């Protein structure tokens, strides 16, 4: 979807202290061979900080940078990938109360690690509707330091990290102009992340941990029995959404200065993102990702903030924001830094 007059007016993050993977190996949390394969150097861990508070802290930074006041906002979209607090309670309204404190819509976007990009797409649609207020606040926060998750072994694709991010989307002005945004899904692959788990009762209600590796092993076992799992390479969806969104922006991959992607380990990052996009590590944000980990939906905006505030991108640079989620779905946005 080509976008006109939609901007990122401010971005903020909340990143607690980190634990090195060297320390994790020494303490027996992380396998030494896996550390070598992953290339990961450190992971952000949140201790006992509630995930919504990470979102609030990030949002306050983004709001201060945006130049907007609370009266400018018509909605707040909060995304998350892990449990936020009391069951049945509304994390989006907690974030709203502690940021804008306005009687506007506060919506939870359950789009997994694609949550912030999906929220940006929703915000773009809203802001192109005449008569709506000029800004939308996007927030996310996750803390995986819970008893039912082992961040170090839950998946070989990544190490789960804790953190928050926020962005102010505006129709007035901003440091980056959104040129195009879109998504593409392949629902035939949804079963890959379901594995052999029954859907009711939900696993978390009976004490089952979040473990993607167990579900992957289920399909390896099925394959050994002659049962073919859902087939497909997720990199194809990544390449498809990037090519389409770039074309809508009137650009090609050669016009992109940097790519902000999810915080995967090096092998999966290259296989699912970099090779399908036809780029090397030099245009990626690997040097950021390997010291942060996979924060869920925050990854892409953590990287964008680092690139912009450190001066690694400046006026005239085009940046590709791209992510993925279980389902399977890939999302992409093209932004141009304007100041």
Give 10-residue mean pLDDT values along the chain (339 residues): 96 97 98 97 97 98 98 98 96 98 97 96 95 97 95 95 98 97 91 86 88 82 82 88 98 98 97 97 98 98 98 97 93 97
Where exactly are the structural domains of the chain?
Answer: 7-178, 180-186+231-337, 187-224
3-state secondary structure of 164: strand
Cβ atoms of residues 184 and 1 within 8 Å: no
pLDDT of residue 271: 96
Q: In what order do the strands lie in the sheet with 73-79?
A: 105-109, 73-79, 135-142, 163-170, 7-14, 176-185, 329-337, 318-325, 258-260
Please name which of 13, 324, 310 lies closest in space to residue 157, comparing C-alpha atoms: 324
* Cβ count within 10 A of residue 326: 16
**CATH top class, domain 180-186+231-337:** alpha beta
322/192 Cα distance (integer angstroms) = 21
- Indicate the CATH number for domain 7-178: 3.40.47.10
DSSP strand E in 15-72: where? 18-20, 42-44
> Is it true that 7-178 and 180-186+231-337 share their CATH fold?
yes
pLDDT of residue 209: 85
């Amino acid at each position: 979807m080509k976008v006109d007059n939609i901007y990122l007016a401010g971005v903020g993050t909340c990143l607690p202290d980190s634990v090195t993977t060297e320390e994790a190996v020494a303490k027996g949390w992380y396998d030494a061979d896996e550390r070598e394969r992953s290339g990961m150097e450190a992971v952000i861990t949140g201790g006992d900080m509630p995930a919504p508070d990470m979102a609030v802290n990030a949002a306050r930074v983004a709001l201060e940078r945006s130049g907007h006041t609370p009266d400018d906002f018509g909605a707040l979209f909060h995304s998350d990938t892990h449990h936020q607090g009391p069951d049945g309670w509304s994390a989006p309204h907690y974030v709203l109360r502690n940021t804008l404190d306005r009687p506007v819509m506060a919506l939870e976007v359950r789009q997994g690690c694609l949550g912030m990009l999906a929220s940006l797409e929703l915000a773009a649609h809203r802001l192109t509707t005449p008569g709506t207020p000029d800004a939308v606040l996007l927030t996310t926060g996750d803390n995986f330091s819970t008893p039912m998750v082992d961040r170090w072994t839950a998946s070989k694709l990544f190490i789960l990290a804790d953190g928050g991010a926020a962005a102010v989307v505006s129709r007035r002005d901003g440091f980056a102009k959104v040129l195009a945004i879109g998504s593409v899904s392949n629902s035939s692959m949804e079963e890959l992340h379901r594995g052999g788990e029954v859907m009711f009762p939900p696993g978390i209600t009976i004490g089952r941990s979040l473990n993607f590796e167990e579900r992957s092993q289920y399909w390896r076992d099925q394959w050994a029995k002659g049962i073919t799992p859902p087939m497909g390479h997720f990199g194809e969806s990544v390449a498809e959404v990037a090519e389409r969104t770039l074309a809508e922006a009137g650009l090609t991959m050669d016009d992109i200065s940097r790519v902000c992607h999810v915080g995967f380990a090096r092998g999966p990052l290259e296989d699912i993102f970099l090779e399908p996009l036809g780029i090397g590590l030099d245009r990626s944000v690997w040097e950021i990702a390997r010291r942060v980990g996979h924060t869920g939906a925050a990854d892409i905006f953590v990287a964008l903030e680092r690139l912009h505030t450190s001066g690694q991108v400046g006026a005239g640079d085009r940046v590709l924001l791209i992510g993925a989620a279980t389902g399977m779905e890939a999302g992409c946005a093209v932004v141009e830094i304007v100041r």
